[in-house]
Amino acid sequence: MPRWGARSGVIPGAFGIDRRTFDDIDRIVRDLDQNLKAFHQGENLLIHLLAKTQQGVAQAKSRGMVDPSGQAGKAWGIPVRRISEDYYKGWKIKKIAHGIWMTYNDSREAFFIEFAINPRATGAVRRPILKMSAVATLRFIQRTRLVERFTASTIGATRNQKGQYRSFGARMSGSQLLGVVGPEGRLPG
């Protein structure tokens, strides 16, 4: 099993996720507006990528100093120091249903690190890496304005051309994707 340094620049088997990746998926979703089945596949791909992003952030926060003796580095700091590397390598994602992905850690130490359980230490500090990675992923989504672009391609833009906020009903009225298109023009009666 290869040993990785605490701050090595390359992680074997990893791939980079950045704004361009989300831009590409956004472009795919916009291209698939006419085909509902293809849209759902793009939506699932987008959510899978967000789960991968959360996994990457969690691994970054779990990628502290490697010390099998457990003596070096900050004991209760972030990034979490690696004694056995099981916690770092234990971050995984799992598909629960279509469009529902779960990020979790299957290592033994995950529960103890998340909830600061240590029978030998009195000053244990909670390190909720899973929660912190979820918040960091949501902030990444906010910075890239992914939600606004995705909702604009599905149910319509949040604001009109003048910058005024559009109600949900006004946005839904133009959506062909969700099957809510009604008659146009003047209706009798």
Residue 175: which pLDDT band, with cuts at 50, 70 and 90?
A: low
Identity of the amino acid at 112:
F
Task: Give, in order, the Cα–Cα distances in Å from 97 to each of 77, 112, 133, 167.
Answer: 35, 28, 21, 30
Model confidence pLDDT, tens digit, residues 111-148: 888 877 776 666 667 788 889 999 999 898 888 877 77
What element of type H or E holds 171? helix 168-172
Nearest of 148, 152, 145 to residue 177 by alpha carbon: 152
Model confidence pLDDT, tens digit, residues 25-83: 777 766 665 566 677 777 888 889 899 999 999 988 888 777 777 676 666 777 777 77
Residues 6+ apart with CB under 8 A from 140: 53, 57
Model confidence pLDDT, tens digit, residues 87-99: 888 899 999 998 8
Q: Which position has the higher pLDDT, 93 or 12?
A: 93
Global pTM reads 0.65
Nearest of 62, 41, 42, 44 to residue 104 by alpha carbon: 62
- Is the CB of residue 160 less than 8 Å from the CB of residue 166? yes
